[in-house]
Amino acid sequence: MRSSVVFRLSIPQKILAYSALVFLSIPALLPLLWMVSTSLKNDAQLFVQGDASAQPLTLGRLIPHPFVWQNYPTALNMVPFFTYLQNTLLLCAVTVIGACLSSAVVAYGFARIPFKGSKLLFMVMISTMALPSQVTMIPIFALFRWLGWYGTYLPLTVPTYFGVPFYIFLLTQFYKSLPNELSEAARVDGASEWTIFARVIMPLSKSALVTCALFQFLGTWNDFFGPLLYINDPSRYTLAYGLQQFLGAHGGEWAQLMAASTLFTAPIILLFFFAQRIFIQGIATTGGKN
Amino acid sequence: MKKNLVGYAFISPWLIGFCLFTAFPFLASIYFSFTRYNVVSPPVWVGTANYQVLLTSDPLFWKSLKVTLYYAALAIPLGVVAGVSLALLLNLEVKGMSVFRTIFFLPSIVPSVASSVVFMWILNPQMGLINGLLRRFGILGPAWLQDTDWALRSIVFMSLWGVGGSMVIYLAGLKEIPAHLYEAAMIDGATTFHRMRHITLPMLTPVIFFNLVMGIIGTFQVFTEAYIMTQGGPEDSTLFYALYLFQRAWRYLDMGYASAMAWILFIVIMTVTGIVYRSQKRWVHYGE
């Protein structure tokens, strides 16, 4: 079904295509390269950039001269980076487990048990994804405050244990694609739905669960708004929130700021390179749901 | 009967979560929007006062609505054009395409806190990369995020940098266009332009429609970039609606007022999405 096989490009057309691709890669990559490059420069190198009378800025400046590694240890000393990292990883682990398990259970119900009202409820669930969070965030904040959860991680973690609509949607699609004979065979043997889910379906859905885990990890790692609302104790900051606080406290120290940004972004980029296919497939599926 | 019970048992985590974290807050925020409420003490009923003040005597409300609509009017169409163009380019049959796909997609996974900090640096008026490069061509660049005329546009540029996410969705849409349509067109002697105009773009309209709707919902909620980079400044030129709402709620503890703002936001989003939804008969092409 691939449509692209139809077209063969001529040599000039190929050259044109490559030039466009290379040209457009520059703005795509430059901000990240500049971030890393700045993190390896000293103040003198940065100030030259701002001096209009000095040599004009060229892309050759991307390569620091000399390389200054000191910004990294300095940045790590300016903020308790490892505490933030630990907090972030803890939150990631707890939310990934919660989101994947609860979403899988719910998705099994929607995909493989025909019950009354399932279609309607599924529609309701899908439509909640489009609901602007602003409409619900104030009462939710009031609720968590009333429960005494303000300042703890509970507001950031507990909601993920009630199923996440996007993952429920992805997993439902996946479970629907599995042949019915799988469950029928187990049902004949007298297995309960729960046993079928836990023993037959779950082991088959590793790939779909990995997609959900990846998105949830990314979501928690990047989350800025949650910690902004609920976390007030600096020893509980996450990396995303900590980086913003770093900016507030040391706004002019660009080399250290870029070192901190690099440390914060690098794990996500590494993860992306290892799991690129899962990322892209997961995102591409969202568009095909209409 | 038992089937029903088992089914509800399986979806119960979501059902309970839906009641607690969506349905109840949804209704509660309608109530809050008619009260004066600061979270610390119980809400006090004030009738339609919040809405009256918002609509008649709060210039910042109108400013934030204007900023958000202006941003949406720029960022959404540019995002669609950039996303579709990149996807078309990536759909060409040349070697090494996966490398370019990775390059274009990469910015969209960078955490928004990090990209905000990086863009503040790149757009720094004196020492930033952009003005440095412009200076090389003899152009004195603006102060970008510190310039009332350029701050909002800078955030639009930044949003285009992250267009890779929707690009991937368009690319998946392009891959699903059946080859036989193109084969038939080739036999009829259709030019590249005709193929694009009569096959590729019509077949892609459902995906464009999807991204348009998601884009509308997303742009009306832009927050992090503005909160980190400009705090709404200079002179409120980047006071996004969601940012003003946040300031009202958490800086001034005007939660009732902010709830009223949230409901107006909801109605605006519903109206705009509704218009786009109604328009789909005219331009969205379903099926072959």
Provide the pLDDT for residue B48. Answer: 94
On whether residue B89 sits in a domain, the answer given is: yes
> Is B269 close to A132, i.e. CB distance below 8 A?
yes
Which residue of A134, A192, A243 is the best one to mutate when testing the B interface, meaning the one whose CB has the most B CBs within 10 A? A134
pTM as predicted = 0.91
What is the overall mean pLDDT for chain A? Answer: 89
pLDDT in tens, B12-30: 999 999 999 999 999 999 9
Provide the pLDDT for residue A57. Answer: 66
**Residues of the domain holding B243:** 51-283
> Is A268 close to B266, i.e. CB distance below 8 A?
no
Residues of B in contact with A240 (CB under 8 A): 111, 113
Nearest Cα to Cα of residue A217 among A87, A89, A83: A89
| pLDDT tier at A235, thresholds 50, 70, 90 | very high
pLDDT > 70 fraction of chain B, expressed in percent and rounded? 99
H or E element, residue B45: strand B44-45
DSSP state of B236: T
What ipTM describes this predicted complex? 0.91
Backbone φ and ψ of B35, nearest 5°: -130, 170
pLDDT in tens, A45-87: 877 766 655 566 666 777 887 888 999 999 998 889 999 999 9
pLDDT higher than 70, residue A274: yes
On whether residue B34 sits in a domain, the answer given is: no
Q: How far is CA B63 from CA A95, B149, B246, B255, B261, in A?
A: 38, 14, 15, 20, 13
| A:270-289 residues touching chain B, CB 8 A cutoff | 272-273, 276, 279-280, 283-289
Distance between CA atoms of A245 and B6, rounded to whole angstroms?
Answer: 48
On whether residue B182 sits in a domain, the answer given is: yes
pLDDT higher than 50, residue B83: yes
Question: Which SS3 state, helix, strand or coil, does residue A58 take?
Answer: coil
Burial letters A253-273, b for 16+ CB under 10 A, else e: bbbbbbbbbbbbbeebeebbe
Q: What is the count of residue pairs from A and B with beta carbons less than 8 Å apart?
A: 294
Find the helix packing angle between A11-39 and B59-90, rounded to 10°.
130
The two structure tokens encoding residue B25 = 């807050």
Question: Which SS3 state, helix, strand or coil, does residue A66 take?
Answer: coil
Provide the pLDDT for residue B104. Answer: 94
Distance between CA atoms of B50 and B35, rounded to whole angstroms?
Answer: 8
The two structure tokens encoding residue B256 = 């009732």
Cβ atoms B167, B87 nearer than 8 A: yes
pLDDT in tens, B93-144: 888 888 999 999 999 999 999 999 999 999 998 888 888 888 888 888 899 9
Provide the pLDDT for residue B209. Answer: 92
Cα angle: B84, vertex B173, A285; to 5 degrees: 115
Sequence-ordered list of residues with C-beta below 8 angstroms from that of B90, at least 6 positions apart, any chain: B97, B100, B101, B104, B167, B171
H or E element, residue B36: strand B35-36
Distance between CA atoms of B221 and B202, rounded to whole angstroms?
Answer: 29
What is the overall mean pLDDT for chain B? Answer: 92
Cβ atoms A195, A182 nearer than 8 A: no
pLDDT in tens, A142-197: 999 999 999 999 999 999 999 999 999 999 999 998 888 888 888 888 889 899 99
Provide the pLDDT for residue B287. Answer: 66
Nearest Cα to Cα of residue B275 among B212, B211, B191: B212
Amino acid of residue A161: Y
Provide the pLDDT for residue A3. Answer: 46
On whether residue B29 sits in a domain, the answer given is: no
pLDDT higher than 70, residue B40: yes
Partnered with residue B44 across adjacent β-strands are B36
Q: Which residue has the tokens 């999807």?
A: B210
- Among A6-10, B65-69, B212-216, the range scoring the smallest mean pLDDT is A6-10
Cβ atoms A252, A26 nearer than 8 A: no
On whether residue B163 sits in a domain, the answer given is: yes
Distance between CA atoms of A243 and A238, rounded to whole angstroms?
Answer: 8
Distance between CA atoms of B226 and B150, rounded to whole angstroms?
Answer: 13
- Which CATH number do you get for residue B254? 1.10.3720.10
On whether residue B12 sits in a domain, the answer given is: no
Chain B closest CA to A36's CA: distance in Å? Answer: 10
A133: left (phi over 0), alpha (psi -120 to 50) or beta: alpha
What average pLDDT does the segment B147-160 reach?
95
Q: Is the peptide bond before A234 cis (omega within 30 degrees of 0)?
A: no
Provide the pLDDT for residue A50. Answer: 63
Based on the structure, what is the number of domains in chain B?
1
Hey, what domains does chain A have and what are their CATH numbers?
77-288 (1.10.3720.10)
Residues of B in contact with A121 (CB under 8 A): 11, 15
